[in-house]
Amino acid sequence: MSDPLRSLADAARAVTAAATDEDVLNIVAAAARDVIGARQAAARRGPNGAPHGPRLVAPLVARDGSSLGLLELWDKDGAFTRDDEAIVSALAQMAANAIETLELLNREHAARVEAEETGRRLLLEKQRAEALHRVGQAISRRLELQEIVQLATDAARELTPAQFGAFFYNVISDAGEAYMLYTLSGVERSAFERFPMPRNTDIFAPTFNGEGVVRLDDVLADPRYGHSAPYHGMPEGHLPVRSYLAVPVLTSDGEVVGGLFFGHPEPGMFSAEDEHMVAGIAAQSAIAIENARLYQERTRTAQTLQRALLPPHLPTIEGLELAATYRAAGEGNEVGGDFYDVFGQSDGSFALVVGDVCGKGPQAAAVTALARYTLRAHAVAGLRPSYQLVRLNDALLRQQAPGFVTAALARIDLTPAGVHLELATAGHPLPILARADGTATPIGDVGTPLGIIERPELPEVALALEPGDLLVFYTDGVSEAAAPRLILSEDDLARLVAEKAAEGPRAVVEHLERTAVANAGGNPRDDIACLALRVAAPLRVSQRFAAAPRAAHDVADALAPIAAELGERLAMDVRLLVTELVANAVRHTGVEGGTVAIEVRIAPRTVQLSVYDDGPGFELPERPIANPEGPGGWGLYLVDQCAARWGTERTDRHRVWLELDRG
């Protein structure tokens, strides 16, 4: 028989270390049996365990008096003693305490686990809310389609257990063709590039047909998997997908934009919550995609409309060189209110107009169309500029057009006696006249904008233009590009025009536009339109001949009549350069039966040469052109060395032009 006290002490230590109720009960039962010498002992949480007969029973009583169970002993040689009773009571108490402590610990643990679980859930919910918010924000910003789908795919992958994700989406090209693009998350593009786009297989169909979400614990075990040729499942080298979640992305009118697909190499990864999460992101991105499409559509419409409101190209008018630039404000998604036009009138004169309709968008576009066609309609009458503007004023008032229109309109008469200009300005910035002698000034008087009052004041000026004189029209998009920080006065504009006048109208309008764009920090808020004309010097040589090897002789013949007027040296330079340009044209025309045309104009200070051909033109080399070291490349080097200015232009033909200074 063991030492009863030691057994009790061992039992006391053991119960404090016990992990479960069961252990506690076993320890006290064994201790009671040993100490008291009974052959049978049981401790249990409920009553009624021992057989009938003599026994010793002690309740396990909790601190609050409730019963936790019983400790029973029976089958002892001899009767139970009072001492036995005391020992069993002590053991029962010990067990009760231990059990209560264990329960307390368990409750604490459970509470901690629950708290942690709640924390995790809150964090996840917060992350999900943030992700949805991010996707939502993309809707309010004008993101590109590509950015939206990437954002959605990344957000969904990060917030689900997905290891990789893809967004396959349909796009429609400008030509109206539908095709599918995709974006990936959690995997390099190279992992997908070898595979064809997913097709309407049994697995994919519910997504691409917009029927609903497909969530599979194990795609390999799904009855729909592996039935479609040629792969019958995932192609060789595909990412190892077991868990699969696919959500269709539908627009508000039920059109399937695409699908969000997620995968994990282990089965059973996606929960119903993940499904809801991705469905939420899909809904958000569908709205974003719809917005992006509408925005693209609006831009396309605006550009189409804009093109219709400007002449497709400027007319060719003998005796005038013309150039225009136009730049709509912003991102090209709105029709601007600036316009320009050049057209012939029934009396043989030409009208040049630049105008600005206040406002933007469809309303401004309607007024612009009204303005342009009203002016053109009155071209048959060959009216003076102020009368023409009065007609436009009447039309605007009759139409009750919103806002007003400013315009500068010139009528140009090209007569054998000279070039005559009449100009009227209706509330528009004054055109700049750069004379052949290098001076430049604003001309005209500011009149009343059109479409406001019945009798607008439209002062008219008339003056004679000389060869080389250059007249520039522009809109306030040029002068006020950087307003209110910087507003260019008409004198500032005159200075800008003078800087480039010698280089001709194209150089001038491009200079003005570049300056305005630069002043506005690259992003002008208003439209910019410029139109410039230069009175051409008299055309002294105009010849067209075959682009054939004998063309050098044709050049010599064509230029012979002006040799005396130019002087021997200049005449030889002119001949050399024309020969070089014609040689280039003959070499590069590449059109059978093609022709070369040469033109020479003699202005008081310059000689202007043009060579036209049917070829594709050539890339202008960087200038100054380096001195050739070998037998090749001398032609353009000579041109570059000798010409004061030169360049190329694409009209209906390819044109190389150059100017030589006289004297």
Partner 1 sequence: MAEIITEPLGPGTAVVAVDGEVTFSNVAALDHQITVALAEATNLVVDLTAVTFIDSSGLSTLLTASARAREGGGTVALVVAQDEPPSIFRFRGVDRLLALYPSREAALAALS
Write down how long the chain is. 663
Q: Which is nearer to partner 1, 509 or 559 (CB)?
A: 559
Within positions 565 to 624, which residues make up the interface with partner 1, using CB under 8 A?
568-569, 572-573, 575-576, 579-580, 583, 586
Binding status of residue 20 toward partner 1 by CB under 8 A: no
Binding status of residue 545 toward partner 1 by CB under 8 A: no
What are the structure tokens assigned to 522, written together?
Answer: 């690259």
**Which listed range, 71-79, 163-171, 273-281, 637-645, lies at the site for partner 1 (CB under 8 A)?**
637-645
Among 25, 94, 551, 597, indicate the residue that binds partner 1 (CB under 8 A): 551
**Which listed range, 263-271, 283-291, 302-310, 625-633, lies at the site for partner 1 (CB under 8 A)?**
625-633
Q: Which is nearer to partner 1, 419 or 596 (CB)?
A: 596
Rounded to whole angstroms, the Cα distance separating 525 from 282 reads 35
Within positions 273 to 332, which residues make up the interface with partner 1, using CB under 8 A?
none
Q: Across the strands, what pairs with 232?
A: none
Binding status of residue 552 toward partner 1 by CB under 8 A: yes
Q: What amino acid occupies position 328?
A: A
Q: Which is nearer to partner 1, 196 or 632 (CB)?
A: 632
Q: Which is nearer to partner 1, 5 or 556 (CB)?
A: 556
Rounded to whole angstroms, the Cα distance separating 484 from 482 reads 6
Binding status of residue 5 toward partner 1 by CB under 8 A: no
Rounded to whole angstroms, the Cα distance separating 570 from 582 reads 18
Binding status of residue 562 toward partner 1 by CB under 8 A: no
Rounded to whole angstroms, the Cα distance separating 48 from 387 reads 120
**Which listed range, 105-113, 114-122, 470-478, 634-642, lies at the site for partner 1 (CB under 8 A)?**
634-642
Binding status of residue 113 toward partner 1 by CB under 8 A: no
Contact between 540 and 602 under an 8 Å Cβ cutoff? The reply is: yes
Binding status of residue 462 toward partner 1 by CB under 8 A: no
Contact between 336 and 306 under an 8 Å Cβ cutoff? The reply is: yes
Question: Is the peptide bond prior to 230 cis by the omega test (within 30 degrees of 0)?
Answer: yes
**Which listed range, 140-148, 323-331, 543-551, 647-655, lies at the site for partner 1 (CB under 8 A)?**
543-551
CB of 642 to partner 1, least distance (A): 8
Q: Which is nearer to partner 1, 500 or 575 (CB)?
A: 575
Q: Measured at the alpha carbon of residue 274, what is the angle toward residues 268 and 279, in degrees to the nearest 5?
A: 130
Question: Is the peptide bond prior to 267 cis by the omega test (within 30 degrees of 0)?
Answer: no
Q: What amino acid occupies position 567?
A: G
Q: Cα dist. 18→11, 104, 250 in Å?
A: 10, 14, 59
Q: DSSP E strands: which ranges in 203-308?
A: 214-216, 243-250, 256-264
Binding status of residue 632 toward partner 1 by CB under 8 A: yes
- Return the half-sphere exposure (C-beta side, CA atoms, 13 A cut-off) of residue 639: 26
Binding status of residue 173 toward partner 1 by CB under 8 A: no
What are the structure tokens assigned to 549, written together?
Answer: 């090897």
Q: Which is nearer to partner 1, 405 or 555 (CB)?
A: 555
Neighbouring residues of 47: CB distance < 8 A, sequence distance ≥ 6: 70
Q: Measured at the alpha carbon of residue 577, what is the angle toward residues 574 and 583, in degrees to the nearest 5?
A: 135
> In the 3-class helix/strand/coil scheme, how is 81-98 assigned residue by residue?
CHHHHHHHHHHHHHHHHH
Q: Which is nearer to partner 1, 409 or 581 (CB)?
A: 581
CB of 597 to partner 1, least distance (A): 18
Q: Which is nearer to partner 1, 256 or 552 (CB)?
A: 552
CB of 568 to partner 1, least distance (A): 8
Binding status of residue 123 toward partner 1 by CB under 8 A: no
Binding status of residue 543 toward partner 1 by CB under 8 A: no
Contact between 438 and 498 under an 8 Å Cβ cutoff? The reply is: yes
Question: Is the peptide bond prior to 47 cis by the omega test (within 30 degrees of 0)?
Answer: no
Residue 601, SS3 per DSSP: strand
Residue 156 CA, distance from chain mean position: 22
**Which listed range, 70-78, 154-162, 299-307, 630-638, lies at the site for partner 1 (CB under 8 A)?**
630-638
Binding status of residue 641 toward partner 1 by CB under 8 A: yes
Sign (positive or negative) of CA dihedral 141, 145, 151, 156:
positive
Per-residue binding letters, 337-376, with partner 1 (x by CB under 8 A): ----------------------------------------
Q: Which is nearer to partner 1, 516 or 581 (CB)?
A: 581
Binding status of residue 182 toward partner 1 by CB under 8 A: no
Contact between 648 and 637 under an 8 Å Cβ cutoff? The reply is: no
Among 630, 650, 652, 663, indicate the residue that binds partner 1 (CB under 8 A): 630
Contact between 431 and 472 under an 8 Å Cβ cutoff? The reply is: yes
Among 296, 332, 634, 645, indicate the residue that binds partner 1 (CB under 8 A): 634
Residue 301, SS3 per DSSP: helix
Q: Which is nearer to partner 1, 369 or 583 (CB)?
A: 583
Among 139, 635, 656, 657, indicate the residue that binds partner 1 (CB under 8 A): 635
Q: Which is nearer to partner 1, 21 or 580 (CB)?
A: 580
Q: Which is nearer to partner 1, 472 or 577 (CB)?
A: 577
What are the structure tokens assigned to 143, written together?
Answer: 């993101």
The tokens 């796009």 sit on which residue?
171
CB of 421 to partner 1, least distance (A): 39
Residues near partner 1, by CB under 8 A: 549-553, 556, 568-569, 572-573, 575-576, 579-580, 583, 586, 627-632, 634-635, 637-638, 641-642
